[in-house]
Amino acid sequence: MKNNFHRDRLPNPLGYFEKSGLTLIGKGEWRSAICPFHKDTEPSLRVRVENGAFRCLACGEKGGDIVAFHQKRFGMTFKDACIALGAWGQL
């Protein structure tokens, strides 16, 4: 089966996180947010705006890019998350 994943089609991580409802706090490469993976009251999620990597310092959820975040947040497979993000299909 041919891999139709195109990383260059992924949305900008900073824009993606803001559109997904996260309020990113701070400036620089890593920002903080309220974690959507557990009942959070203080910003415990750290997000790298360059590539979308994330890690929650409270619940331990983590991933290397916005595909992993989208998969975990919406319970999707890799392919389904790529399709939803516009990064799957023929050029």
The reported pLDDT for the residue numbered 2 is: 65
Token readout for 31 is: 């920002």
How many domains is the chain built from? 1
Q: What is the pLDDT along the chain (91 residues), one digit of tens a residue?
A: 567 999 999 999 999 998 999 999 999 999 999 999 999 999 999 999 999 999 999 999 999 999 999 999 999 999 999 999 999 987 6
CATH of the domain at 52: 3.90.580.10
Residue 2 lies in a domain: no
H or E segment to which residue 33 belongs? strand 30-33
Sign of CA dihedral 74, 58, 26, 12: negative
H or E segment to which residue 62 belongs? strand 62-63
Query: For residues 49 and 12, is the Cβ–Cβ distance under 8 A?
Result: no
DSSP for residue 57: T
Centre a 10 Å sphere on the Cβ of residue 81 and count the other Cβ atoms it contains: 21
Residue 53 lies in a domain: yes
> Is 0.75 surpassed by the pTM of this model?
yes
Residue 63 lies in a domain: yes
C-alpha atoms less than 13 angstroms from C-alpha of 48 in its C-beta half-sphere:
12
The domain of 47 spans 9-84
Residue 4 lies in a domain: no
Residue 76 lies in a domain: yes
